[in-house]
């Protein structure tokens, strides 16, 4: 492993310059001195401050965390090989087998970009939220301020953190059983992933419901199911939710679609206009 801030900055500038705004769903925004992303745009996509991106590119920020590197790799649409090179330049070992992968392959990202009119979110095999589109944020609530376990779906659900989503008792049983089974399978596939092991241990200690489901060895899986989202401006919105698993990367993509015969499609159109702002 190397730790060369100057080389890291050079690589980031190269990858930023080659990434077209249109590739990541951004408008061209008038006259540009270069065809690639502006620093402000990269910061927005990666969830970082502009000042931090500037310091990284100028070699003045040392030892960026693996979480920051993963965000940069996703924002810049890096291949797996390029992502590994990014980690090495920053002095970190690349993610290895036995650990939950968080990389979104460029081909998968292009697919997600084509679904802008559909609320969707991307999660890793531990159910950590790693990406989402604007319509999902408008529907569920902007997750940008959330940190750490606040972005983990299992932790949020079993510790009863605030949410706009409600289920019927039958839907909740299916959802909880599928989550627990998913985490059990992930723990078997990624035995070296310490954060996943700690998450499961803490959930068993904190949530009686999770503890009982885990010890019962309940069997379930994610199916198409409906749920109700209580939007502060539009009221109840009924959606069908599918969970798609991407082979190889082991990502989970949660996709919300309008059930037939409902007004949800019209509400989605309004959400596009409202965004994450609340109406006066």
Which of 240-277 are b and which e, b meaning 16 or more Cβ less than 10 Å from the residue's Cβ? bbebeebeebbbbbbbbbbeeeeebeebbeebeebeee
Residue 194 in this model has a pLDDT that exceeds 60 = yes
Residue 279's pLDDT band (cuts 50, 70, 90): very low
Topology (CATH level 3) of domain 106-274: Beta-Lactamase (3.30.450)
Q: pLDDT higher for 197 or 104?
A: 197
**CATH classification for the domain delimited by 5-89, as one of 3.40.50.300, 1.10.490.10, 1.10.260.40, 3.30.750.24:** 1.10.260.40
Look at residue 1 in the predicted model and tell me its pLDDT. Answer: 53
Give the single-character DSSP code of 30. S
Look at residue 272 in the predicted model and tell me its pLDDT. Answer: 85
Look at residue 2 in the predicted model and tell me its pLDDT. Answer: 57
Any idea which of 5-14, 91-100, 254-263 has the lowest mean pLDDT? 91-100
- Name the helix (H) or strand (E) containing 269: helix 264-274
Residue 273 in this model has a pLDDT that exceeds 90 = no
Residue 95 in this model has a pLDDT that exceeds 50 = yes
User: Domain map of the chain by residue range?
Assistant: 5-89, 106-274
Residue 280's pLDDT band (cuts 50, 70, 90): very low
Task: Please work out, in degrees rounded to the nearest 5, the angle formed at the alpha carbon of residue 256 by the alpha carbons of 258 and 267.
Answer: 45
Look at residue 220 in the predicted model and tell me its pLDDT. Answer: 78
Quick: pLDDT tens for 51-69. Answer: 999 999 998 887 898 889 9
Any idea which of 112-116, 162-166, 253-257 has the lowest mean pLDDT? 112-116
Residue 35's pLDDT band (cuts 50, 70, 90): confident
Strands (E), 95-234: 120-123, 129-132, 165-166, 225-231
Q: pTM of this prediction? A: 0.77
Residue 156 in this model has a pLDDT that exceeds 90 = yes
Residue 237's pLDDT band (cuts 50, 70, 90): very high
Tokens, residue 40: 């402000």
Per-residue pLDDT, averaged over 79-92, amounts to 89
């Amino acid at each position: 492993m190397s730790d060369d801030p100057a080389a890291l900055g050079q690589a980031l500038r190269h990858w930023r310059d080659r990434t077209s705004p249109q590739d990541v769903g951004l408008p061209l925004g008038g006259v540009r001195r270069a065809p690639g992303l502006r620093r402000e745009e990269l910061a927005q996509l990666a969830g970082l401050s502009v000042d931090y991106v500037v310091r990284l590119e100028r070699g003045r920020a040392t030892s960026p965390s693996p979480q920051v590197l993963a965000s940069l790799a996703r924002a810049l649409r890096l291949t797996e090989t390029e992502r590994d090179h990014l980690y090495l330049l920053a002095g970190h070992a690349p993610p290895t087998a036995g650990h939950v992968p968080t990389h979104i392959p460029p081909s998968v990202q292009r697919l997600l970009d084509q679904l802008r009119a559909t609320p969707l979110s991307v999660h890793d095999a531990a159910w950590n939220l790693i990406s989402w589109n604007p319509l999902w944020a408008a529907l569920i609530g902007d997750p940008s301020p959330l940190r750490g376990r606040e972005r983990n779906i299992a932790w949020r659900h079993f510790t009863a953190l605030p949410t706009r989503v409600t289920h019927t008792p039958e839907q909740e049983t299916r959802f909880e059983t599928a989550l627990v089974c998913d985490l059990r399978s992930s723990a078997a596939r990624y035995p070296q992933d310490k954060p996943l092991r700690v998450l499961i241990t803490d959930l068993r200690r904190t949530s009686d419901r999770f503890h009982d489901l885990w010890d019962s060895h309940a069997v379930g899986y994610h199916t198409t199911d409906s749920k109700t989202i209580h939007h502060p401006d539009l009221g109840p919105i009924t959606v069908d939710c599918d969970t798609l698993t991407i082979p190889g990367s082991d990502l989970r993509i949660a996709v919300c679609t309008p059930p037939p015969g409902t007004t949800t499609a019209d509400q989605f159109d309004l959400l596009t206009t409202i965004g994450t702002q609340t109406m006066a």
